Amino acid sequence: MKDEHEFLDVGELPWTPAAGSPGVSERVLAAGPDAAVEVTRLARWAPGLDTSAAGVIRHTYYEEVYLLEGELEDLTLGRTFTPGHYASRPPGMPHGPYRTGPGCVMLEIRTPAP
């Protein structure tokens, strides 16, 4: 179960480096016992970040992403996504790699698979 908050001023949370994701910083809004698979966060990608070296991504949890600022280019699909775009990915769904020119900020919600 994630942390309990009755309205949190997100602007007061620090941006911290996201573990295992160079060029990504995060503001964790709520996390469960295993924050790698149960977390709600804002993720900020630095301008020029390119995840090509990591290849296509797959993970064991559900992931929802809502792009708030900037743009994110999906190098496999050959499409660029901008604020207002949303993704819902079940466990094992391939996605990425990605590149961003100006950087981006997204709301990300991870939920463990049953």
CATH 2.60.120.10 fits 22-111, yes or no: yes
pTM for the predicted model, two decimal places: 0.92
* Residue 95 β-bridge partners: 57
Give the domain ranges of the chain: 22-111
Three-state SS letters, 56-70: CECCCCEEEEEEEEE
Structure confidence at residue 46 (pLDDT):
98
9/102 Cα distance (integer angstroms): 26
The per-residue pLDDT for 82 is 98
pLDDT digits (tens, 9 = 90+) for 66-105: 999 999 999 999 999 999 999 999 999 999 999 999 999 9
* Token pair recorded at residue 103: 């950087």
Residue 110 burial (C-beta neighbours within 10 Å; 0-12, 13-18, 19+): buried
- 95 in Cβ contact with 88 (< 8 Å): no
The answer, yes or no, to whether residue 1 has pLDDT greater than 90, is no
pLDDT in tens, 14-68: 999 999 899 999 999 999 988 889 999 999 999 999 999 999 999 999 999 999 9
Q: What is the pLDDT of residue 3?
A: 84
